[in-house]
Amino acid sequence: MSNPTMILSSALLAISCAISGCGSDSKLNTAPTVTNDGEASNQVIATKVFVNGEVYTVNPDKPWAQAVALQGNKIIFVGSSAGIKAYVGEETDIIDLEGKMMMPGFHDVHMHPLESASQATQFTVPSYASEAEYIDAIYAASIQNPDAPWLIGYGHEISTLLEMDNAPLAVINEAVKNRPVIIMEQTSHSMWVNGKALQLAGINHNSQDPVGGVFGKDEAGNLDGILYDNAGNQVMELAMQSLKNAKQQDYDGLIEYTMPELNKAGITSISDARTYWQRGHLETWQRVAKEDNLTLRVSLGLWAYPDMNDERQISIIKSLYQSRSDSLLKVNQVKFYMDGILVNTTAAMHEPYHTNWLDLYQNKGLNYFTQSRLEKYIKALEPTGFDFNIHGIGDRGIHEALNAIENASNGTARHRITHLEVVDPADYNRFRKLNVIADAQVAGEFTKPSHWGETIPLIGSERAQDLVPIKSLQRSGARLTLSSDWNVSTFNPFVGLSNAISRAPQNISLAQAIKAYTLNSAYAMRQDQQVGSIEVGKLADLVVIDGNLFERSVLEIKKTQVDMTLLDGEIVYQR
């Protein structure tokens, strides 16, 4: 119908005046079908329209607009506030953005949502404390949790334990001796345990290190109470199995805290970067989805257990694949660790560490998965549809992951290597060549150039430069994504954006950083045709923020507030 006779409500008339001026022809036309260029032809009325905004689309062909129209969960118009009036009908919900900025919903393709918000951890200890303070904190936790079969804690930094006058094992045993205690270090790459925990795990000074892990020992060869990387993971599995209500606690954490807080930060899609399927993590996510409580698009990265038989693990992982287009929850990624981390000398390096701490593999770190073993998994799981999320921190670990993809991938997968702390410049171009996504985290203060010098005692000044080289990777043509690794770093994407543009010499532009958090990350989740930019035909995962990021300083960007978050056209958060 080209000349409707309906009378506009006063609210609609006011919006009409605001966007196009009032006169004798102030009635709004109904609109028909939408063409690819956003122009109307015949009779499509929007259910919701946003007008008078600064809309940053992340669409290079049309980066800015003033207005967006939705019909249900789909975007049907992106353009001017004047042009949108053809899509407004009597039932259309009109939202005046009043000059605020709209952009696509943020993606966080590397976080640990169940682990970070679960109530399974019974107590927290300080990052740094004296031996007496740690003893008091752990003893207090035992009094407060009298019925817990295992005491499970979190919070210290590894350097604290290594600088103690007494062995860490002696300190924790003084606090609690007759009940197993395990405390996760902040990076999750080591666990502090007491003698009872070691006994229940069957670990003694004659035990051989597991694949991807190390039993910490003193100079005399006695266990010191620190379990590095997969050695600690295995004992944590025992501790988690003792919890009777872990699944319910994980579920409650997701519903009551994690998803609401992520939506509040403007996040509409995430990848769970370590779904422990033997701990019931998969069942927890499936329950949330079945009950229709998801307020995010979620891709699960099934944890590849380094100590499990390959054939059995591959068979199980294949059976868990799920990627229905109509589901917010997809089980379509696998999480592999190539190596450990720099601060405890387990990251896999080409050249030896400058400190002889654990003396692994000629003092060059360790492998959870070797290159040849990763190739085996690529060949077995790619045909099912899995993409790999590969932890790589040291230059050797990253190099071997790239080699495995080059040797074994069929070329259609969307594998990514995450963390990328020390990257051999010779490997920069290989990300583009092999279509490997470069996933980095820069929201943490420890990633800033001002902290790079802290690694000099470990790897020397030359290798300590250009850590997390996002600018170099971007210039080499790599597809860059930015994520949080929450709770190692904050999940607030505005902190990540602010740091990404200010960490010279390895900084990128704001436009590049936003794309890394939106369209590039949507690509990593295989949903770039549905979300990640604001374009006609895409789904309405949108964020409204309190001002234009491009007009703000680095500090102001960090303090940005989200006014509204939409998932699939529905408001899931409103300030």
Provide the pLDDT confidence category of residue 32 given band limits of 50, 70 and 90.
Answer: very low
Task: State CA 34 to chain mean position distance.
Answer: 35
Span 455-509, pLDDT tens digits: 999 999 999 999 999 999 999 999 999 999 998 999 999 999 999 999 999 999 9
The answer to pTM > 0.85 is yes
Which pLDDT score, from 0 to 100, does residue 43 have?
58
Residue 572 lies in a domain: no
Which conformational region is residue 435 in: left (phi greater than 0), alpha (psi within -120 to 50 degrees), or beta? Answer: left
- The average pLDDT across 162-185 equals 96
Of 204, 222, 241, which residue sits at a domain end? Answer: 241
Amino acid identity of residue 551, one-letter, is E
Residue 473 lies in a domain: yes
Of 197, 217, 241, which residue sits at a domain end? Answer: 241
Q: Are residues 337 and 434 in the same domain?
A: yes
- The average pLDDT across 214-219 equals 92
The answer to whether residue 28 scores a pLDDT higher than 90 is: no
How far apart CA 278 and CA 304 sit, in angstroms, is 11
Count CB neighbours of 356 within 10 A. Answer: 9
Task: State CA 366 to chain mean position distance.
Answer: 24
Span 412-455, pLDDT tens digits: 999 999 999 999 999 999 999 999 999 999 999 999 999 999 99
Two tokens, residue 498: 């602010």
The answer to whether residue 18 scores a pLDDT higher than 50 is: no
| Residue the block writes with tokens 């600690």 | 232
CA 410 vs CA 382, 387, 388, 414, 520: distances in Å: 8, 11, 13, 10, 21
Share of the chain above pLDDT 70, in %: 92
CA 105 vs CA 68, 93, 511: distances in Å: 14, 20, 15
Q: Are 481 and 493 in contact (CB under 8 A)?
A: no
Provide the pLDDT confidence category of residue 42 given band limits of 50, 70 and 90.
Answer: low
Q: Are residues 200 and 315 in the same domain?
A: no
Residue 3 lies in a domain: no
Residue 407 lies in a domain: yes
Residue 161 lies in a domain: yes
Of 223, 241, 259, which residue sits at a domain end? Answer: 241
Tell me the sheet residues that pair with 54.
Answer: 101
Helix (H, G, I), strand (E, B) or coil at 523: helix
Residue 1 lies in a domain: no
Q: Are residues 303 and 452 in the same domain?
A: yes
Q: What is the CATH number of the domain that holds 409?
A: 3.20.20.140
Q: Are residues 222 and 291 in the same domain?
A: no
Helices and strands in the chain: count of H runs, count of E runs: 20, 26
Q: What is the CATH number of the domain that holds 144?
A: 3.10.310.70
Provide the pLDDT confidence category of residue 116 given band limits of 50, 70 and 90.
Answer: confident
Residue 4 lies in a domain: no
Which residue in 440, 460, 437 sits closest to 507, CA to CA? 440
- The average pLDDT across 558-566 equals 98
Q: Are residues 126 and 19 in the same domain?
A: no
Provide the pLDDT confidence category of residue 10 given band limits of 50, 70 and 90.
Answer: very low
Q: Are 365 and 353 in contact (CB under 8 A)?
A: yes
Residue 234 lies in a domain: yes
Span 126-150, pLDDT tens digits: 999 999 999 999 999 999 999 999 9
Q: Residue 310: which domain range? A: 108-112+244-567
How far apart CA 423 and CA 336 sit, in angstroms, is 18
Count CB neighbours of 352 within 10 A. Answer: 17
The number of folded domains in the chain is 3
Which residue in 35, 34, 56, 54 sits closest to 45, CA to CA? 34
